Amino acid sequence: MKIAICDDEIQFLDDICILFKKWGKKHGIKLTLYRFTNGDDMLLALQNECIDLIFLDVVMPLLNGIDTAKEVRSNNQMIPIIFLTSSREFAVDSYEVKAFNYLLKPITEEKLFTVLDEFLKTFEKLKESFIVKTSLGFCKINVADVVYLEAQNKHVIIYLSNDSTIEVREGFSKCEEFFSLKKGFFKCHRSYIVNLNHVEKFTKTQINTTNNTSIPISRNNYVAFKEVYFNHMFE
């Protein structure tokens, strides 16, 4: 598991990295820790590294944590961000960038381990994959990469986060069984199933996804979708 920690206090970085290693040893997880003292350096590193989790100090000189997170989100909608802060005042801003959580300083072992345990459950889901039958044979796909599914005649088109598509030779009802609410998906229309983690915004009639696509919500499903979406985002 690769974790980036960005904070302008060197001593804090030293201390929290000790706790990270202790948590990793407890769970038998090999951690690779990337330390940064400013947002610009971290953003540069993210261009070449695939990071699983970011810990980001809110108050930093030059580029602050919120602005750094916005830059991260402009290129990556999915990577979980946990803010480090001495105040709860930034809560509205953290929602805007879809923060996974936040930790109030001073950071204790108990606080850190609790939020890492919570992330671990999500991390295991993100790594879940499935195998589908296509016209070219069998294909393995990560569940987290699926933005939405669309029923077309007797086939199903799966739209992925890298803007590619896969035509699956399965019935829509069978896909619906696998891409269930338990896995973070919702059937918003008789022909569409959307990944709740890839919802950018929505109205009463449509959902805008993270790959800049609009898909419909049926009138009968809007109320249920809104409730499910907010429960999912704040669970």
Structure confidence by residue, pLDDT tens digits, 33-92: 999 999 999 999 988 888 889 999 998 888 888 899 999 888 777 788 999 988 776 666
pLDDT digits (tens, 9 = 90+) for 185-213: 999 999 999 999 899 999 999 999 988 99
| Structural tokens at position 94 | 């953290």
- Token pair of 198 as six digits: 């890839």
For residue 80, whether the previous peptide bond is cis, meaning omega lies within 30 degrees of 0, is: no
Q: How far is CA 138 from CA 18, 90, 141, 166, in A?
A: 43, 46, 10, 11
Residues in the chain, how many?
235
Looking at the structure, give the CATH architecture of the domain made up of residues 2-126.
3-Layer(aba) Sandwich (3.40)
- pLDDT over threshold 80, residue 124: no
- DSSP run (H or E) holding 55: strand 53-57
| Interval 29-48: pLDDT, tens | 899 999 999 999 999 998 88
Domain extent listing, the chain: 2-126, 130-233
This prediction's pTM: 0.62
Fold of 130-233: OB fold (Dihydrolipoamide Acetyltransferase, E2P) (2.40.50)
Q: How far apart are CA 135 and CA 32, in angstroms?
A: 39
Hey, CA dihedral for 19, 10, 72, 226, is it positive or negative? Answer: positive
Domains 2-126 and 130-233 share a fold: no
